[in-house]
Amino acid sequence: MSLVNFTAREITCKIVYYGPGRSGKTTNLQYVYGRVPENRRGRMVSLATQTDRTLFFDFLPLELGTISGFTTKFQLYTVPGQSYYNATRKLVLQGADGVVFVGDSQARRFDDNLESLQNLQDNLLSQGVDVRQLPVVFQYNKQDLPADLVLSQEEMDDALNFRAVPSYPADALHGAGVFETLRGISELVLKRLAVGTPVG
Q: For the residues of 94-148, what is the DSSP string, one character each? A: TT-SEEEEEEE-BGGGHHHHHHHHHHHHHHHHHTT--GGGS-EEEEEE-TTS-TT
DSSP β-ladder status, 136-141 and 98-104:
parallel
Question: C-beta of 173: minimal distance to other proteins in Å?
Answer: 16
Residue closer to other proteins (CB basis): 164 or 195:
195
Residue closer to other proteins (CB basis): 43 or 108:
43
Nearest to 28 by CA among 167, 177, 188: 177
**x-or-dash string of contact with other proteins, 69-98, rule CB under 8 A:** xx-xx-x-x---------xx--xx-xxx--
Given 15, 62, 136, 160, the residue binding other proteins (CB under 8 A):
62
**x-or-dash string of contact with other proteins, 32-61, rule CB under 8 A:** ---xxx--xxxx-x-x--------xx-x-x
Give the phi and the psi of residue 128 in degrees, each rounded to 5. 75, 20
Residue closer to other proteins (CB basis): 14 or 22:
14
CA gap 76, 182 in Å, rounded? 10
Residue closer to other proteins (CB basis): 142 or 192:
192
Question: C-beta of 77: minimal distance to other proteins in Å?
Answer: 7
Residue closer to other proteins (CB basis): 76 or 160:
76
Given 100, 120, 165, 190, the residue binding other proteins (CB under 8 A):
190
What residues numbered 112-171 form the site for other proteins, per CB under 8 A?
Answer: none
Nearest to 107 by CA among 167, 147, 139, 158: 147
| Local structure of 158: helix, strand or coil | helix
Residue closer to other proteins (CB basis): 92 or 150:
92
- Contacts of 11 by beta carbon, 8 Å cutoff, 6+ apart: 2, 3, 4, 5, 67, 70, 71, 72, 73, 190, 193
Q: Which amino acid makes up residue 41? A: R
Please report, as ranges, the residues that interact with other proteins according to CB under 8 A.
Answer: 1-8, 11-12, 14, 35-37, 40-43, 45, 47, 56-57, 59, 61-70, 72-73, 75, 77, 87-88, 91-92, 94-96, 179, 182-183, 186-187, 190-191, 193-196
